[in-house]
Every structure is written in C-alpha cells, then in structure tokens.
C-alpha cells in the first residue's frame, strides 16, 4: 500500500485517528496482539505467532485492494498505537467480520465504539457492503455489549475451533437507520 493510498484511507473521529496497517507496522501490531490482556480474546487465547500476524496483515492488505477496507491501527492524537479496528474476511464463509482490540489502559473509554463506528461507516457508506458480522467469545462480555451497542443482532451461539462464541450480524439498512437516529 503506497503512502498516498494509506493517507487517503486514514479515518478521523472526534478523539482518534485510524490508519490502515501495513507490513511496516508489524512490530507494534505483534506487540499489541501478544499482550496477555489483549491476546486472551484473540487467536484462540494463544499468543499469536509471527506468521499468524503476518498472515492477518496480508489478508488485511488483500481486503484493502478489493474493497477499500482493512485493519486500521487506532491512535490517540499524536500518540502511539492503542489498538486495532477493521475487517477481515472469514475464510469458511466469505463474510466480512468486524474486529477490534484495545490496550487495557484504554478500555472503558468508548474508543472501541468510536473506532467501530468509523470503520462501519467506511464499510456501508463507502465500500457499499450490505452486511457485516461480528463474533466474540461467550465470556467476553465487553465485546458482546459493544456489538449490541453497534446495533448488531445476535444470530446464534456456536463454537469456533472449539471455543464457545456469539455470532452477530448487522445489515447496512439497519445500521444506516440507527446512525440517522443518533
């Protein structure tokens, strides 16, 4: 991804800047996703390998090339990476999944909600998607509440690789109506 394309896809919110992650961001992304408090909800509660993080970045770049969607790094103004938010394609179904993570010191401040709204706007208003999904481990109540707050509908409870998970979905029409009401 060229610097001009990356800056064109930088998203700004009231308190955050979201920049598409590239392979140049590998070290800070690996450190973030490997943190025990973050990683317990990602990569099946295992510390990711360097190959897994490289693969996720590659998938993000591919999605950027095809849909203009990516995994964005979440930054407080003039600060370091505090998290991630964006999309990947679920290999088994082809569905586009919303993903998010934050460093624990930034939990409970509304950053994940703010970042998620920015990337959902990108998915529905710019990329023209009809639907996105979200999944979370059943014990991850904070993520479940966030998916519900974003307007997602709980579709089912079903394991993913042996881990009990909630499966949510959000239709573009429902999201856009909710944004008009806000």
The class level of CATH for 3-181 reads alpha beta
Rg (CA), the chain: 15
Choose among 176, 60, 167, 70: nearest CA to 124: 176
pLDDT tens-digit profile, the chain (182 residues): 444 444 558 999 999 999 999 989 999 999 999 998 898 888 877 889 999 999 999 999 999 999 999 999 999 878 899 999 999 999 999 999 999 999 999 999 999 999 999 999 999 999 999 999 999 999 999 999 999 999 999 999 999 989 999 999 999 999 998 876 65
DSSP-derived letter for residue 48 is P
Per-domain residue ranges for the chain?
3-181
CA distances from 21 to 150, 170, 176 (A): 23, 24, 26
Supply the pLDDT for residue 35: 92
Supply the pLDDT for residue 8: 57
Supply the pLDDT for residue 84: 97
Supply the pLDDT for residue 13: 95
Supply the pLDDT for residue 182: 56
**C-beta atoms surrounding 10 within 10 Å:** 13
Supply the pLDDT for residue 6: 47
CA distance 181 to 179: 5
Supply the pLDDT for residue 100: 97
Strand order, beta sheet including 163-171:
11-12, 17-20, 71-75, 81-89, 96-102, 131-137, 163-171, 153-160
Query: 181: exposed, middle or buried (C-beta count within 10 Å: 0-12, 13-18, 19+)?
Result: exposed
CA distance 93 to 69: 18
């Amino acid at each position: 991804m060229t610097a001009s394309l990356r800056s064109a896809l930088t998203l700004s919110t009231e308190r955050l800047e979201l920049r598409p992650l590239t392979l140049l961001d590998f070290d800070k992304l690996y450190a973030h996703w490997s943190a025990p408090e973050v990683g317990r909800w990602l990569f099946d509660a295992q510390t990711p390998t360097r190959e897994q993080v490289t693969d996720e970045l590659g998938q993000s770049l591919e999605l950027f090339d095809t849909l203009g969607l990516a995994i964005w790094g979440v930054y407080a103004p003039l600060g370091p990476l505090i998290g991630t938010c964006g999309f990947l394609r679920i290999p088994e179904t082809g569905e586009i999944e919303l993903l998010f993570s934050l460093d624990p010191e930034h939990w409970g401040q509304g950053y994940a909600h703010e970042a998620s709204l920015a990337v959902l706007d990108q998915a529905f208003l710019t990329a023209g998607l009809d639907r996105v999904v979200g999944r979370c481990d059943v014990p991850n109540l904070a993520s479940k509440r966030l998916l519900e707050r974003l307007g997602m509908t709980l579709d089912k409870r079903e394991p993913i690789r042996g881990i009990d998970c909630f499966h949510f979905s959000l239709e573009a029409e429902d999201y856009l109506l909710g944004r008009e009401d806000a």
